[in-house]
Structure 1
């Protein structure tokens, strides 16, 4: 539950604080990192509910098309869920690779959806570079976030079942 609170707090203050410290297109996607952590700690049910709730929260507090971020976070969960079959989220290497790929695909999908809903949008040709840097930054931060949550005492769902 603490991870949910941290993520919701991050979503609420992201727009005002992050823009002061980082360039506009580069930011750390902590929601995807926390979603992947919840996927291995609480299972797919906990992670998909988290994705849905975070999407609704972003939709409510942003001025975008209603349902856009809910759809985007559910697709992000699906990418993590399928990608976890190919990359081990319990290792740092797997976390970095899978989160990098997922965040990059999420940003490309967001761009495509914004382009589809807004015909007057002009995009610079160098846009994939900041997206890749942002995705790489999220991937590199993931092992640190996983370690921090593990130090805070979050137990895996399977660990709790074994204790009972």
Structure 2
């Protein structure tokens, strides 16, 4: 096996949809990536390929803040998600390596912080922590321990004020 991590290419679009369909056993995440791409909201979209065939995918998209006048002028971060690996390749560390490669990319390193909704024990190893620790709320109703934030190394730690809320792109409302 020869794994290569790279930015998505046009010929990867359909295989990316298939990766998420198989990884999540539904079409929502693949449609999300397609819509983000169509609306030019994919800040970063990377794949892992095995012999030039995509087997894993990760996406990052812009987010916005609301809840105060100050929120409009704050530097905003990006949302990680979705990330998926074909089931036959899961459990080999491919997804973990892809997440790390994406976080280390120039594109993401240039952002002050990243957010995601996910398992704290999994994403904690990448520096993600409960976003409420920084005062940030998510627009979605979910247990606060699953809304996570990572501060880019060497970036200023964000401190959000009460009422400041993170908003995902509208495409996430269909997931």
Give the TM-score taking structure 2 as reference length: 0.32
More helix by share: 1
Higher RCO (CA < 8 A, seq sep 6+)? 1
Give the TM-score taking structure 1 as reference length: 0.33
